[in-house]
Amino acid sequence: MPRILPLTALPLLLALPLAAAAQIYTWTDADGNKVFSDQPGPGASTLEVGPTNTVEPPRRTEIRSPGTSDQPAAGPAYQRLEITSPSNDEAIRSNEGNLVLSVTTDPGLSGSHLLRVELDGELTDVSSPGRGQRNHLLSLTNIDRGSHQLAVVVVDARGNVLQRSSAITVHLQRTSLLQPGRAGSNQAPQAPNAPRAPNVPAPGRSGGS
């Protein structure tokens, strides 16, 4: 006996996947009621059922705070940026005021970066261009005697400071030109000794033999 479904069950029946419902039939019974069934009845006709429409739930939209992005925060370009020589608090004697810094970067300095020396908080013109090298020598000249703070910074092609090393303190000792006894110091010249007349005995010597 075919299963007779009331008209109100039609939406549920149509919602079944096509694999589950092989065929849907419809006809009108003796009382004039519309009948739907999965088995044909007297004078039944086939009901064409289209493919089932699948509606996906809307994706959840994540609300981000202003200023946030999907990109991770950029860390320092170099894991190591350090003045390896001289050491911190080292006393250095240089009468000419010359000083050589040895610096290490890891990884090597990028070709688009420049290493510059910072002396007492001010950038100097002393620099080292990047060629992928890790070790750098930077020479400072004519530095005043006394204590100084030194650091190195990495700058890009626009001159923006990307990274700064830890600062060190050095104590430069220079011999002053005004120190007594120094050759070439500003001492008053001494008059030369006057020549003695010939056959005149030197003072303190007797005339007899």
Residue 13 burial (10 A CB sphere; 0-12, 13-18, 19+): middle
Give the model's pLDDT for residue 25: 72
Q: What are phi and psi of 190, to 5 degrees?
A: -95, 145
Give the model's pLDDT for residue 183: 45
Give the model's pLDDT for residue 57: 62
The pTM score is 0.51
Q: Cα(104)–Cα(137) distance, rounded to whole angstroms?
A: 9
Per-residue burial over 50-76, b = 16 or more CB atoms within 10 Å of its CB, e = otherwise: eeeeeeeeeeeeeeeeeeeeeeeeeee
Helix and strand element counts for the chain (H, E): 1, 12
Q: Cα(107)–Cα(66) distance, rounded to whole angstroms?
A: 34
Pairing status of strand 80-85 against strand 99-106: antiparallel
Each residue's pLDDT expressed in tens, for the chain with a length of 209 residues: 555 555 555 555 555 554 444 577 776 777 777 666 777 777 777 766 555 555 566 666 555 555 544 544 456 789 999 999 999 999 999 999 999 999 999 999 999 999 999 999 999 999 999 999 999 999 999 999 999 999 999 999 999 999 999 999 999 999 866 555 444 444 555 556 666 666 656 565 554 54
How many residues are present in the chain?
A: 209
Under 8 Å between Cβ of 104 and 84: yes
Q: Which two tokens stand for residue 191?
A: 């008059």
Give the model's pLDDT for residue 184: 44
Query: Is residue 101 helix, strand or coil?
Result: strand
* DSSP per residue, 103-160: EEEESPPPTT-EEEEEETTEEEEEEEE-SS-SEEEEEE-SPPSEEEEEEEEEE-TT--
Number of other residues whose CB lies within 10 A of the CB of residue 6: 10
Give the model's pLDDT for residue 102: 96
Domains of the chain (ranges; CATH) run 7-46 (no CATH), 80-173 (2.60.40.10)
Give the model's pLDDT for residue 198: 62
AA letter at 77: A
Q: Cα(141)–Cα(139) distance, rounded to whole angstroms?
A: 7
Identify the helix (H) or strand (E) that includes residue 163.
strand 161-164
Q: Cα(161)–Cα(113) distance, rounded to whole angstroms?
A: 10
Choose among 124, 119, 175, 116: nearest CA to 147.
119
